[in-house]
């Protein structure tokens, strides 16, 4: 995942290992061939210190490209309840 803050020209990069299946099949919740995975990436709240548009890019780095049976990937941000 690469992210760029407002006004920055350089992006910061982080890698995450996100297992989508186990030896017994797909993990997550769903039915038929549609499954949803909600994976918490950060245990601590992340603060966006500057106002403006942030850019986030996802990149899959598996040996298989494209990944078979993967239809869509997205990011969801949630405000922390205090």
Number of other residues whose CB lies within 10 A of the CB of residue 20: 14
- Does the pTM of the predicted model rise above 0.75? no
Statement: residue 36 has pLDDT above 80? yes
Confidence at residue 52, expressed as pLDDT on a 0 to 100 scale: 92
What digits encode the pLDDT tens for the residues 57-66?
888 877 777 7
Statement: residue 43 has pLDDT above 80? no
Band of the pLDDT at 72, cuts 50, 70, 90?
confident
Confidence at residue 6, expressed as pLDDT on a 0 to 100 scale: 92
Q: Which residues pair with 29 in a beta bridge?
A: 36
């Amino acid at each position: 995942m690469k992210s760029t803050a407002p006004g920055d020209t350089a992006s910061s990069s982080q890698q995450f290992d996100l297992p989508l299946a186990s030896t017994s099949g797909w993990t997550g919740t769903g039915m038929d061939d549609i499954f949803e995975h909600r994976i918490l990436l950060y245990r601590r709240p992340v603060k966006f210190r500057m106002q403006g548009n942030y850019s986030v890019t996802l990149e899959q780095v598996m040996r298989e490209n494209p990944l078979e049976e993967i239809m869509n990937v997205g990011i969801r941000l949630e405000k922390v309840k205090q």
